[in-house]
């Protein structure tokens, strides 16, 4: 789980680094970050929309256990996955917005103030993403127990 969060945070760091590197570039270069953010958000939203019919698209440490569950037991886990993807999309939007504002201020010669430091604190979003990933794992464990209990009460061997 920690690896997933760290990879997400490293992506935010790359976005922040890239964003400030192009701050003094041409007008078209300044909008590249917005395009990247829109692309990342679109990917998250498409995956979120497809989760019900294609749950294998969501990548997390317990994926094999999740895919073994029958469809009706996967749905509560998918709901938690969608919340996590929406939070990741929101954190991407907020991070890129702050970077874009810093780029705009720098290109117009205005003082950046605290905005210059904010992208470096994108790692603060990590704990929220980690909590949501733990909720996905908890939902998986709960549904796995419920499925095993239903199989046992029906007289099926494990």
Q: What does the chain come to in residues?
A: 158
Mean pLDDT to the nearest integer, 94-122:
70
Grade residue 123 by pLDDT with cuts at 50, 70 and 90: low
Q: How far apart are CA 30 and CA 104, in angstroms?
A: 8
Alpha helix positions (H), the chain: 2-21, 27-30, 32-50, 63-68, 71-107, 126-153
> What's the pLDDT score for residue 61?
83
Between vectors from CA 107 to CA 102 and to CA 111, what angle results, nearest 5°?
55
Of the pLDDT bands very low, low, confident and very high (cuts 50, 70, 90), residue 114 is low
Above 50 in pLDDT, residue 99? yes
Per-residue pLDDT reduced to its tens digit, 59-75: 888 889 999 999 999 99
Q: Tell me what pLDDT residue 14 has.
A: 57
């Amino acid at each position: 789980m920690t690896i997933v969060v760290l990879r997400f945070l490293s992506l935010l760091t790359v976005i922040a680094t890239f964003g400030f590197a192009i701050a003094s570039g041409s007008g078209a270069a300044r909008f590249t970050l917005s395009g990247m953010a829109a692309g990342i958000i679109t990917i998250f939203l498409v995956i979120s929309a497809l989760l019900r019919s294609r749950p294998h698209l969501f990548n997390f440490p317990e994926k094999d256990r999740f895919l073994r569950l029958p469809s009706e037991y996967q749905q509560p886990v998918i709901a938690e996955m969608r919340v996590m993807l929406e939070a990741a999309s929101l954190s991407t939007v907020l991070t890129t917005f702050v970077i874009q504002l810093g780029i705009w201020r720098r290109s117009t010669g205005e003082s950046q103030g605290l905005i210059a430091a904010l992208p470096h604190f994108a790692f603060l979003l990590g704990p929220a993403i980690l909590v949501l990933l733990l909720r996905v794992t908890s939902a998986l464990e709960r549904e796995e127990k419920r499925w095993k209990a239903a199989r046992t009460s029906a007289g099926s061997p494990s």
